[in-house]
């Protein structure tokens, strides 16, 4: 199932907006035990882009790393409980500049 940084970065490296990310995700609600495939994409910046993906329960402050920076653009996220999660995609360009983008997904029992 497919489901802040230096000012100079804001001009050069942009992740897709939440609505653009949602267009690449088949669902914003999944059943417990299911996975969501996050498709990472960005524009601008310099050199090769790398992406890291994290998630956390919306009510919590601790992030779980799904994948550290890598060039692959597809990452599977499998939440562990029925709740609302924030998924964070971090894009890093060849200069080391980083930009974050968050979106939410609800997991139902």
Q: How confident is the model at residue 19 (pLDDT cuts 50, 70, 90)?
A: low
* Domain edges within the chain: 7-108
Q: In the predicted model, is pLDDT for residue 68 greater than 90?
A: yes
Q: Is residue 38 pLDDT above 90, yes or no?
A: no
7 vs 45 pLDDT, higher one: 45
pLDDT at 75: 87
Arithmetic mean of pLDDT, 38-54? 87
Alpha-carbon distances of 50 from 46, 72, 80, 85, 99, rounded to whole Å: 11, 7, 26, 23, 11
60 and 80 Cβ atoms separated by less than 8 Å = no
- Assign 17 a pLDDT band (cuts: 50, 70, 90): low
CB 13 within 8 A of CB 45: yes
pTM to 2 decimals?
A: 0.75
- Is residue 71 pLDDT above 90, yes or no? yes
CATH classification of 7-108, choosing from 3.10.129.10, 2.60.40.10, 3.40.50.800, 1.10.150.20?
2.60.40.10
């Amino acid at each position: 199932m497919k489901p802040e940084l230096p000012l100079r970065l804001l001009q050069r490296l942009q992740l897709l907006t939440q609505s653009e990310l949602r267009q690449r995700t088949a669902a914003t609600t999944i059943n417990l035990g299911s996975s969501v495939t996050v498709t990472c994409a960005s524009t601008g910046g310099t050199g090769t882009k790398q992406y890291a993906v994290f998630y956390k329960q919306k009510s919590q402050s601790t992030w779980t790393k799904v994948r550290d920076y890598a060039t692959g653009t597809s990452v599977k996220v499998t939440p562990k409980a029925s709740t609302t999660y924030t998924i964070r995609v971090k894009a890093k360009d060849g200069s080391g500049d980083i930009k974050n983008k968050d979106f939410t997904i609800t997991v139902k029992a």
